[in-house]
Amino acid sequence: MTHTIDAPSVLRFSWHRPLLWLSFGMMALVAIALVALVVDPRTITGMPLWAKPLKFAFSVLIYSVTLAWLLGQIPRARRLAWWAGTVSAAFLAVEMIAIYGAAFADTTSHFNVATPFSTAVWGTMAVSIVIIWAATILVAVLLFRADLGDPARSCAIRSGLIIAVIGMGLAFLMTSPTAAQLSNFQGIAGAHTVGLSDGGPGLPLLGWSTDAGDLRIPHFVGMHAMQVIPLVALLIELLGRRLPALRDVRARLGIVVVLAGLYLAMIAVLTVQALAGESIVHPDAATSTVSFALFLAAAVGIVVIVGRARTRRRPLGSGVGSDRHRSEGGKSTV
């Protein structure tokens, strides 16, 4: 069974306008943070002050554009979908106001309970992210009930959003105070890093710890599955124009399922690695072995799927010998 790419069905949708306007606002905030990184030399927790606002603005930009597109794929319950997107846009704006406000005030936004005002800001952010998370779950439910057309594309959209919901939920692992914070309270309750205090050596700009575990990694990777997996599915569709085996809808669907499973499994590996206090750049033998085995299993699975698709496409008796026989008009060469 083949399924050709219907480009108009991919491109024809209605943007969710509040999320689209939010994405334009994020573009402006990205520009502000980039300029501030150059002209403002201040640092906080070992990172440039404006690195965190830049990361969040860029992440929210990608999220809002993606969600604005996903909501356009829901043919029914449009009003409910519109409200889910609008609520997400409003509370994402609240999050960004808090993050940029803290940067302008030369303080931290996350986990900061040093003063009543800081506690109120952090509490507002915590409530906002829970509401955004709940709205994303609602969108996932609506997408599971919607007819999205191509099975591989549908699987990519749905699995990407479900994995993103899981990745967003991993943020709750960062909100509990550490033992060191409980024994010597300094106005911070919660941490990104496991095994060491926040603010040690980290990857450039991202800030992910290079000396200890970092829960931001599985959170970030999981949250952006809603972009990565659908984009991979689209790439597979485009490759189908040149590779006949990928025109088989069952092959494309199988590959998306394998890749979604690999993505989810690697989030589990990254989460366990972070909770164990292990740096992303210094994995131990067990982490490396499991990761290699997962990628190898996925590669083998994809090869098998493509091989079966090629077999299904090959007509009965279409071997080399029969091709030669037909090319010579059925005459014997003996």
Question: Is 132 found in the same domain as 27?
Answer: yes
The total number of structural domains in the chain stands at 2
Domain harbouring 108, CATH code: 1.20.120
Question: Is 111 found in the same domain as 216?
Answer: no
Question: Is 197 found in the same domain as 143?
Answer: no
Task: Please check whether residue 327 lies inside any domain of the structure.
Answer: no
Task: Please check whether residue 244 lies inside any domain of the structure.
Answer: yes
Q: Which domain holds residue 269?
A: 192-313
Question: Is 274 found in the same domain as 197?
Answer: yes
Across the 334 residues of the chain, what is the mean pLDDT of every consecutive 10-residue run? Answer: 45 75 95 92 83 91 91 82 93 93 84 82 89 91 80 90 93 82 74 78 81 90 92 88 84 93 96 92 93 96 88 58 45 39
Task: Please check whether residue 265 lies inside any domain of the structure.
Answer: yes
Strands 43-44 and 213-214: unpaired
Question: Is 143 found in the same domain as 31?
Answer: yes
Span 8-53, pLDDT tens digits: 344 445 788 899 999 999 999 999 999 999 998 888 877 888 888 9
Q: What are the phi and psi torsion angles at 320 (to 5°)?
A: -60, -40
Task: Please check whether residue 52 lies inside any domain of the structure.
Answer: yes
Residue labelled with tokens 């603005």:
57
DSSP state of 76: S
Task: Please check whether residue 307 lies inside any domain of the structure.
Answer: yes
Give the other-Cβ count within 10 Å of 285's Cβ: 7
State if pTM tops 0.85.
no
Of all residues in the chain, the percent with pLDDT exceeding 90 is 44
How many Å apart are CA 205 and CA 183, to the nearest integer? 31
Question: Is 289 found in the same domain as 199?
Answer: yes
DSSP H helical ranges for the chain: 7-11, 17-39, 51-71, 78-104, 116-145, 151-169, 179-183, 216-223, 225-239, 249-275, 285-313, 320-327
Whether the Cβ atoms of residue 260 and residue 298 lie closer than 8 Å to each other? no
Task: Please check whether residue 333 lies inside any domain of the structure.
Answer: no
